[in-house]
Chains A and B, each alone.
Chain A
Amino acid sequence: DIQLTQSPSFLSASVGDRITITCRASQGIRTSLAWYQQKPGKAPYLLIYGASTLQSQVPSRFSGRGSGTEFTLTIRSLQPEDFATYYCQQFSSSSQGFTFGPGTKVDLK
């Protein structure tokens, strides 16, 4: 199975900060990586797929990079509505399916 790790697990930041979350895969997954935002009591919300493609209507302050085993999600200027938990997710046809990372919680400093 392909495993995903995320760092950091928790991140305290202020409005206006630039933050970066890293997701690492245990095997190469090319660019088959997505990022989600989840707020308490709500379903996850797709932000980025294909490692760097912004989903429709997602603000441009979100960006994704990477390929192979290391990926990043950057929020350029943190807004109050961005305080949430972020998950990466991979899909591999060779390993038969999807895997989610453990999550990164972003809260207000």
Chain B
Amino acid sequence: QITLKESGPTLVKPTQTLTLTCSLSGFALGSTGVGVGWIRQPPGKALEWLAVIYWDDNKLYNPSLEREVTITQDTSTNQVVLTVTKTHPVDTATYYCARTVTNLKAFDFWGQGLLVTVSS
């Protein structure tokens, strides 16, 4: 059974760095073709893709992001980490991690999401 689960702080102050962890089970990060992405959704708004990392450590980032975002993976713990630096209240959103496979070009399994509020 494939599952993903997001964890991290639910409240951060503006300008702080937000670090989120996606814990995976049922599949291995190092498997050929596998990738994990982060997508966020501000309250009442649309989905916004942030970044994706693939089994070969290839990384793609949304070029439209105004905030610096970094994605990394730890194959020994089967986790993917997203950091967002210099957070702003507009970064308040539900953050999802999701699995992709290269030939799918879509996200087939999603975590439940984590609501993060950026506020002083």
Interface segment, one of A11-19, A68-76, A95-103 = A95-103
Of A43, A87, A96, A98, the residue contacting B46 (CB under 8 A) is A87
With a cutoff of 8 Å between Cβ atoms, the chain A residues found around residue B64 in the complex are 1
Report the number of A-B residue pairs with Cβ-Cβ less than 8 Å: 63
Q: How large is the interface on B (under 10, 10 to 19, 20 to 34, 35 or more residues)?
A: 20 to 34
Q: A66 interface residue, CB < 8 Å from B?
A: no
Instruction: Digitize B71-96: 1 where CB-to-A-CB distance is under 8 Å, 0 elsewhere.
Output: 00000000000000000000000001
Partner of B60, one of A44, A96, A100: A96
Known contacts A32-B105, A50-B105, A87-B46; A97 and B110 CB within 8 A of each other: no
For the complex, give the distance between the alpha carbons of A102 and B112 in Å. 21
Determine if B46 and A100 form an interchain contact, defined as CB atoms under 8 angstroms apart.
yes
C-alpha spacing A35/B30, complex, angstroms:
27
A45 to B64, CA, bound (A): 24
